[in-house]
């Protein structure tokens, strides 16, 4: 008989994989600068967007400034025209003051068929712009405003329009383009300065607000991740949610939950790895003890006693299975479960062996029902199928024995089988308290124990693995009372 030892639950693999996993958790990123981080980007974007909005404000504003400027000159000239209409002449001093006020070189009054000169200093040079205020549209005002801003030269601008409200006479004013251009550039400079001031104030407020609302909480999350990655098994390093009622608060809650699960998982795997290391040391001695017990039983089997003759083969078979179980546990830990060795077996006999090993016939408080047809045959590995039914039945026994209402509750375990065309359906049911809803989703996962507080969560995981190795399926069926597991195994 070979004696093998190895770490339970793949402790070697866990020990080797764990440093790599922690190394991945502890990856350090380059430090984030203020201008290159979210805060700096938010600041720059805010300034950019505010300036962009100011551009859309500036375009109609500069056109309106131009129109107002021109209308002011026409109004001033219109006042002089009204004096001319009443006195039929304007004093030279008044003409000089009018030209100085408007900046014009020539002002005339158009009365339909008659044009009268009001004031003039010199003959106008080439007219670069001719503006009729009565025909101005907003779009024309915008275009001509930028033409004036970009104009290079010493040309003149001629503006024609009504001098006063309700007056039918039209005023004609000629002045240098540079006068309007200088005032428009000054206005643009004021708009630019105001835009920069508003941008700075707005960006600062947005920067401070977003940094307080988003950046600092994100930095807190990042710092906690770094701190948690240094010692993920330490539950005290799990993030404590701040209680925010927003998306970041939800992210904190989810991160804390993930860290808690990861911390518990690492602690559990570490404990199982330590346990596997300890078991691997005693595995050799345990197998030797079982082998010695086999030798003693083989000698006792020679005793001519009816009871010994009846019980010795069962004890020997149980010891064989115990030795196989030790190897199976080691194999599971190393992810080396042996493939099934299929044989044509009588399912009823395997169910009977399960009842004998568990001593169900001797347990007065628990009834056992073998509802399998004695003639039903199945092509499967007898040891694997025995282990599956043993795990399910043992769980049922423990659930029923844990129920203290001995005088009231009917305690029964039943194993039935339905022979189908392509598969055999086996059901293992009991009248126990059932399985809680919160563990049904992880029932067949390794290291997720069921209602048993002292279980390590390998029984159902091993059962599911053995059933899948046969090409079958195992599931928990809804049952009005107790628990019912359904196994579907193909015949071929």
Residue 30 · residue 237 · CB < 8 Å: no
Question: Worst-scoring range by mean pLDDT, 2-11, 50-59, 372-381?
Answer: 2-11
Let me know: does 332 contact 464? Beta carbons within 8 Å: no
Report residue 343 CA to chain centroid gap: 50
pLDDT tier at 25, thresholds 50, 70, 90? very low
Measuring CA to CA, which residue among 451, 434, 442, 448 is closest to residue 485?
434
CB 301 within 8 A of CB 312: yes
Nearest Cα to 327, choosing from 359, 291, 283, 370? 283
What CATH architecture does domain 337-490 belong to?
A: 2-Layer Sandwich (3.30)
Are the CB atoms for 340 and 373 separated by under 8 Å? Answer: no
Closest CA to 168 of 82, 73, 86: 82
The domain ranges of the chain are: 39-199, 337-490
Averaged pLDDT for residues 256-274: 81
9's tokens: 């639950």
- By three-state DSSP, how is residue 136 classified? coil
Please state the pTM of the whole predicted model: 0.43
Only one residue has tokens 């003149």, namely 156
State residue 414's pLDDT score: 92
- Phi, psi (5° rounding) for residue 407? -85, -10
Q: How many residues does the chain have?
A: 492
3-state SS assignment for residue 130: strand
Instruction: Express each pLDDT in 406-464 by its tens digit.
Output: 667 788 899 999 998 889 999 999 988 888 887 877 787 765 555 554 445 567 888 88
With cut-offs at 50, 70 and 90, classify the pLDDT of residue 396: confident
- Segment 299-355, tens digit of pLDDT: 676 677 777 667 777 777 777 766 666 665 555 555 455 788 899 999 999 999 888
Cβ(80)–Cβ(172) under 8 Å?
no
Calpha distance 386→349 (Å, rounded): 10
Confidence of residue 488 (pLDDT cuts 50, 70, 90): very high
User: Radius of gyration over alpha carbons of the chain, in Å?
Assistant: 48
Pairing of strands 156-162, 127-132: parallel
């Amino acid at each position: 008989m070979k004696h093998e030892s190895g770490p339970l639950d793949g402790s070697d693999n866990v020990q080797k994989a764990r440093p790599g996993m922690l190394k991945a958790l502890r990856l350090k990123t380059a430090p984030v600068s203020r201008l290159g981080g979210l805060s700096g980007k938010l600041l720059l974007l805010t300034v950019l967007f505010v300036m962009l909005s100011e551009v859309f404000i500036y375009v109609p504003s500069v056109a309106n400034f131009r129109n107002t400027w021109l209308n002011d000159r026409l109004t001033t000239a219109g006042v002089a025209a009204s004096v001319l209409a009443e006195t039929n002449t304007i004093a030279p001093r008044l003409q000089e003051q009018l030209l100085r006020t408007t900046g014009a070189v020539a002002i005339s009054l158009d009365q339909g068929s008659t044009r009268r000169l009001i004031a003039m200093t010199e003959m106008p040079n080439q007219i670069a712009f001719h503006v009729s205020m009565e025909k101005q549209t907003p779009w024309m005002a915008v275009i001509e405003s930028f033409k004036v801003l970009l104009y290079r030269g010493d040309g003149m601008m001629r503006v024609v329009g009504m001098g006063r409200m309700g007056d039918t006479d039209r005023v004609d004013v000629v002045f240098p383009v540079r006068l309007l251009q200088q005032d428009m550039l000054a206005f643009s400079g004021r708009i630019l300065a105001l835009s920069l001031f508003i941008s700075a104030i707005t960006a600062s407020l947005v920067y401070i607000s977003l940094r307080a609302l988003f950046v600092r909480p994100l930095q807190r999350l990042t710092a906690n991740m770094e701190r948690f990655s240094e010692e993920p098994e330490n539950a005290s390093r799990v993030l404590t949610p701040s209680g925010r009622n927003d998306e970041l608060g939800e992210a904190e809650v989810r991160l804390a939950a993930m860290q808690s699960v990861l911390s518990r998982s690492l602690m559990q795997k570490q404990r199982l790895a330590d346990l596997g290391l300890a078991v691997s040391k005693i595995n050799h001695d345990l197998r030797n003890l079982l082998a010695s017990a086999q030798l003693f039983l083989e000698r006792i089997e020679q005793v001519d006693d009816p009871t010994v003759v009846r019980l010795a083969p069962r004890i020997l078979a149980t010891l064989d299975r115990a030795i196989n179980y030790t190897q199976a546990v080691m194999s599971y830990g190393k992810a080396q479960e042996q493939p099934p060795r299929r044989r044509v077996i009588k399912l009823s006999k395997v169910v009977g062996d399960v009842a004998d090993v568990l001593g169900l016939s001797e347990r007065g408080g628990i009834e056992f029902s073998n509802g399998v047809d004695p003639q039903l045959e199945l092509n499967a590995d007898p040891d694997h199928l025995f282990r599956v039914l043993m795990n399910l039945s043992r769980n049922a026994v423990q659930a029923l024995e844990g129920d203290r209402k001995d005088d009231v509750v009917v305690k029964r375990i039943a194993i039935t089988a339905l022979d189908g065309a392509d598969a055999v359906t086996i059901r293992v049911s009991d009248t126990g308290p059932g399985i809680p809803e919160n563990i049904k989703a992880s029932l067949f996962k390794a290291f997720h124990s069921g209602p048993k507080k002292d279980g390590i969560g390998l029984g159902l995981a091993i059962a599911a693995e053995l059933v899948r190795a046969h090409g079958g399926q195992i599931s928990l069926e809804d049952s009005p009372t107790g628990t019912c597991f359904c196994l579907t195994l193909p015949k071929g």
